[in-house]
Structure 1
Amino acid sequence: MSSVNTTIQLITRDEAERRGKPGRAQTSCDDDLAKGPWEFDLAEALAGTPGYGPGASEADVAPAATPRQGQLPQEYKDASDDELTARIIAAKAELGDRVVVLGHFYQRDEVVRFADFLGDSFQLANAAKAKDTAEAIVFCGVHFMAETADMLSSPHQAVILPNLAAGCSMADMADLPSVEACWAELEALYGTEPDADGRVPVVPVTYMNSSAALKAFCGRHGGIVCTSSNAATVLEWAYERGRRVLFFPDQHLGRNTAKAMGIALEQMPLWNPRLPLGGNGESVMREAKVVLWQGFCSVHKRFTTAQIDQARVDFPGVRVIVHPECPMEVVDAADESGSTDYILKAVQAAPDGSTFAIGTEINMVNRLAAQYPQHTIFCLDPVICPCSTMYRIHPGYLAWVLEGLVRGEVLNQITVPEATAVDARVALERMLAAKPRSVQERSARQAAANTPVPAAATVPAATVPVA
């Protein structure tokens, strides 16, 4: 099976019209995806404003402080795929154990083929902490992941992000001043004193997809970081310590996780940082169990119930699995939801001949289809639209930073100030201790959660204390 990048190139040249599976039209969400990412580095430099690049996040506005990538040397832009491959292999061979390359599931195939470790954000956070013998960690992911690797790695290690423009629009939807302003309003409403059982009024929980500054905020305020793998475990941890949770920046992961725990939708108000009390009445806020930040993933927002309906028509008996960053109605319509690692393990454990419609980033889905040809695997969204920021990393940038290390030059190093890192590590260590449940445990809990619950129902007091 062709890589996503190759497929987009073919679509742009009108050489491919269909996926080869019934009812799955082959189109790309933006023809500019076929261009080299350096073209967007240049365009942003000329415009004087940062951006996320073409694709799923193109409609999102990047904050002025978003990192921008300088110009990639021309030799890497001009190099053929074969030349870049040879140069990367040679550089890695010369560097040996001095470098480790980490790759996220959502990276393009042309990059992850060189990764020493491939995983989701939780797994890569652990890998960054464990690889303490390497002098450099080249993180093929996005900016917040590289920040986390810097904070968890040893002081002698340099963390490198091949393209500084590989950011995350969701992470940018919550910034420290806005969260601090929200926190001040919540403290004014709820107070700061713990109850008779020692539970504080609010515990902050930030998704891994957030800046180091927000992870540090959680560390300072008794909070924790979560990933899509361990979100349920983290919420349970938070409810042991507090009466309610402030969850940012992804509303969908927070809502889907809390709903699966039995928390009523009425107890999950959405916080708009531009409005007093987030746009909610005081009575609503007092009943809240989870205060959800108004953020989302542009990739996972593309998935719809109509796509699920169509997949079931095209492939009777299809097993639909979506990521919990998808909107609630999509998660509810799917057979299962889970992290990228959950999706991978579900495919691995399935009997031969299974059919999967998967709602997550296309590079991972395409890779699963190639790795498990005994199954029929396709993306719920028929339009090929990769994570635009992950897509900013290209083999040319990887070759550039690796050859820099061969010369003794550290390029694109990501460094979190120690004053921030100290508090952020507290929240991150709590996250690493909150081990995700197994696939079997997740499936059992998900089956139980699918039992109809009255709209006014709340979580039993033993699980989530009543305020």
Structure 2
Amino acid sequence: MTVTSLTLEPRPIDPSVDHGIQAIVAGASSAETCNTDLAAGPWDFDIRAGYGPGASMGDVIPTGAPRQGGLPQEYRDASEDELHARIAAAKAALGERVVILGHFYQREEVVRHADYVGDSFQLAGFAKQHPEAEAIVFCGVHFMAETADLLSQPEQAVILPNLAAGCSMADMADIDEVEDCWEQLAEIYGDMEAVDEEGLVPVVPVTYMNSSAAIKGFVGRHGGIVCTSSNARTVLEWAYARGRRVLFFPDQHLGRNTAKAMGVPLEQMPMWNPHKPLGGSSQVELEDAKVILWHGFCSVHRRFTVDQIDKARAEHPGVRVIVHPECPMAVVDAADEAGSTDYIRKAIAAADEPTTFAVGTEINLVQRLAAQYPQHEIFCLDPVVCPCSTMYRIHPGYLAWVLEELVAGSVVNRVTVPADVADPARVALERMLAARP
């Protein structure tokens, strides 16, 4: 008798977070979501103030934050298959006149139509590579569309399918509050442009890419620079070659984790809370500071905890834990590795042997990686399905709408940065491009 050995192929994984949430709400899945309203269409929340259901639902949205007008009913009523067909038809009709960019954290139903997928900086670069396109449709959030507008040609239209797709972390660094902070620091340090005997200014402002164009413009005007999560260390080294200390915003965790890895003591990293005099620190603390951290954070990455890592290690011996540096310091310290979104993606792609990965970043990317690399076991550290509130505001219904409007000769939801902000913001971005690791 001959026994035939069967090799079982890994069971396909559905990369769609939306399908999983719909199953949870329908009672067909035992998983848990942070808000069952995520199963509804984002248009249900367009007229409400707030970031919408998801990780940022508890964050306070600034007055005057962009709102999305009504989406025509035909797009609300269309099925998933119909929307996909309409998007594909519009793309074919537009040809090279349009480039669609999709962030790693976007829904699978949107990413499948993107010409390029990447992080915010990569996508801005892709936009810059296509001067022939009349329109750039940026499936991400508002600050990303602003950056694409800064780096693209003046005649190109940058379109954000849903104007309500903002970013709560970017909103935590308000330009008026940042200007006030700078004035208070000048009262301590003196002339902010004066160099000392070593040729250093008192403070160099550094902003994370995840900030408004107004903040990037502020940084450009004051001798500062933009950073990404992948080049934050190089940028801080650039800043320390020019200044005694750094004012880092809006994400405290990226700033703290990066500076700590460079050997900066925690006691030399005071927090600046814009709602307190001197940011809540003493003059002595600010004088001794090497990094002044803005009181901002990413609500997605703040959900990850050391307890989640401990649980993953207990249930999956040998698990490889990788987290994003926007996570709190204790989480980064407890993980095996920390790196940018692109670092996480490349680390998993480079694993030769079947590996169990516990990943601390946005669920849409984690789920997509799990589907893309079925030879590995890949899961999100946070067992509760809770996507980025604002990335999730981009729905294929909005993408179909803006594309069909372009086919009809109409540009809707265009994002533009005024020249007085754009010029210094480009300076800060160009400094970042020149500061390579």
TM-score, with length taken from structure 2: 0.96
Percent pairwise identity: 72
Q: 2 CA distance for matches of 1:129 and 1:430?
A: 16
Partner of 2:9: none
Q: Distance in 2 between matches of 1:217 and 1:15?
A: 50
Contact 2:240 2:246 in 1 (8 A): yes
**Post-superposition offset of 1:204:** 0.3
State the SS of the aligned residue for 2:321. strand
Matched residue, 2:275: 274
Tell me the secondary structure at the aligned position of residue 149 of structure 2.
helix
Counterpart position of 2:19? 6
- Partner SS for 2:430: helix
Cα separation, 1, equivalents of 2:275 and 2:158: 35
CA positional deviation for 1:197: 2.2
**Structure 1 stretches of at least 4 aligned residues deviating more than 4 Å after TM superposition:** none
Counterpart for residue 333 of structure 1: 334
1:191 is displaced (CA, Å) by: 1.6
| CA distance in structure 1 between the partners assigned to 2:50 and 2:282 by the alignment | 35
- Following the alignment from structure 2 to structure 1, what is the Cα–Cα distance between the partners of residues 151 and 187? 34
2:221 matches 1:216: no
Q: How far off its partner does 1:433 sit?
A: 2.2
1: CA distance, partners of 2:379 / 2:324: 14
Match of 2:8 in 1: none
What amino acid is the match of 1:404? Answer: E
Residues 56, 298 of structure 1: 8 Å contact kept: yes
Alpha-carbon distance, 1:364 to partner: 0.2
Matched, 1:113 2:112: yes
Q: Aligned-pair distance for 1:64?
A: 1.0
The residue aligned with 2:375 is 374
Structure-2 residue corresponding to 1:29? 34
After superposition, the C-alpha distances for 1:396-425 in whole angstroms (9 at most, x for unaligned) are 000000001001100100011111101110
Find the aligned partners of 1:272 and 1:81 in 2 and give their Cα distance. Answer: 44
Deviation at 1:109, TM superposition (A): 0.3
Deviation of the 1:156 alpha carbon: 1.2
Q: Distance in 2 between matches of 1:375 and 1:175?
A: 42
Partner SS state of residue 41, structure 1: coil
| 2:99–2:127 contact (8 Å) kept in structure 1 | no
SS in 1 for 2:46: helix
Contact 2:22 2:39 in 1 (8 A): yes
Provide the rounded CA distance (Å) in 2 between the counterparts of 1:70 and 1:140: 17
Q: Does the 8 A contact of 1:201 with 1:244 survive in 2?
A: yes
Asked if 2 retains the 8 angstrom alpha-carbon contact of 1:30 and 1:385, the reply is: yes
Task: Confirm or deny: 8 A CA contact 1:106 1:361 kept in the other structure.
Answer: yes
**Separation in structure 1 between the aligned mates of residue 233 and residue 137 of structure 2, nearest angstrom:** 30
**Is 1:78 paired with 2:83?**
no
What is the SS of the residue equivalent to 1:170? Answer: helix
| Alpha-carbon distance in 1 for matches of 2:198, 2:152 | 37
Name the SS of the counterpart of 2:137 in structure 1. strand
Distance in 2 of aligned mates of 1:64 and 1:71: 20
Which residue identity is paired with 1:162? P
Q: Map Cα deviations across residues 336-392 of structure 1 (whole Å, 9 max, x no partner).
A: 100000001100111221110000000000000000111110000000000010000
Q: Which residue of 2 aligns with 1:245?
A: 246
Structure 2 gap ranges (5+): 1-12
Aligned to 2:91: 92
In structure 2, the partner of 1:38 is 43
**Structure 2 residue 228 is matched with structure 1 residue 232:** no
- Secondary structure of 2:263's partner? coil
Cα distance in 2 for partners of 1:159, 1:331 equals 35
Cα shift readout 1:297-338 (whole Å, capped 9, x = no counterpart): 000000000000000011100000000000000000000100
- The aligned counterpart of 1:173 is 172
Distance 1:433 1:414 in 2: 26
- 1:84/1:396 contact within 8 Å kept: yes
CA offset digits 1:59-103 (Å, max 9, x no partner): 101111100000100000011111100100000001000000001
Per the alignment, in what secondary structure is the counterpart of residue 45 of structure 2?
A: helix
Q: 1:117, 1:236 → 2: CA distance?
A: 31
TM superposition shift of 1:128:
1.8
Q: Aligned equivalents of 1:189 and 1:302: distance in 2?
A: 36
Please state whether the residue corresponding to 1:68 is helix, strand or coil: coil
Aligned residues: 422
Alignment of 1:394-413 (within 5 A): 394-413=395-414
- How far apart, in 1, do the equivalents of 2:433 and 2:169 lie? 22
Say if 2:161 is the partner of 1:148.
Answer: no
One-letter amino acid of the structure 1 residue matched with residue 168 of structure 2? S
* 8 Å CA contact retained: 1:205, 1:246: yes
Report the CA distance between 1:283 and its aligned residue. Answer: 1.0
Instruction: Letter of the 1:189 partner, please give it.
Output: I
Amino acid at match of 1:283: V
Query: Which amino acid in the other structure matches residue 181 of structure 2?
Result: C
Query: What are the residue-to-residue correspondences of 1:334-373 with 2, within 5 Å?
Result: 334-373=335-374
Instruction: State the TM-score, normalizing by the size of structure 1.
Output: 0.90
Q: Distance in 2 between matches of 1:220 and 1:406?
A: 39
Output the CA distance in 2 between the equivalents of 1:434 and 1:7.
Answer: 41
**Aligned equivalents of 2:310 and 2:148: distance in 1?**
40
Does structure 2 retain, via aligned residues, the 8 Å contact 1:126–1:432? no
Mapped to 1, the partners of 2:147 and 2:344 lie a distance apart of 23
Once the two structures are TM-superposed, the CA of residue 174 in structure 1 deviates from its matched residue by: 0.8
Shift of 1:230: 1.0
Contact 2:149 2:416 in 1 (8 A): yes
Counterpart CA distance in 1 for 2:348 and 2:154 is 38
Distance apart, 1:434 and its partner CA: 2.5
CA distance in 1, matches of 2:128, 2:426: 11
Q: 2: CA distance between counterparts of 1:351 and 1:264?
A: 37
SS at match of 1:196: coil
Q: 2:29 aligns with which of 10, 16, 19?
A: 16
Letter in 1 for 2:213: A
- Residue 195 of structure 1: how far off its partner (Å): 1.1
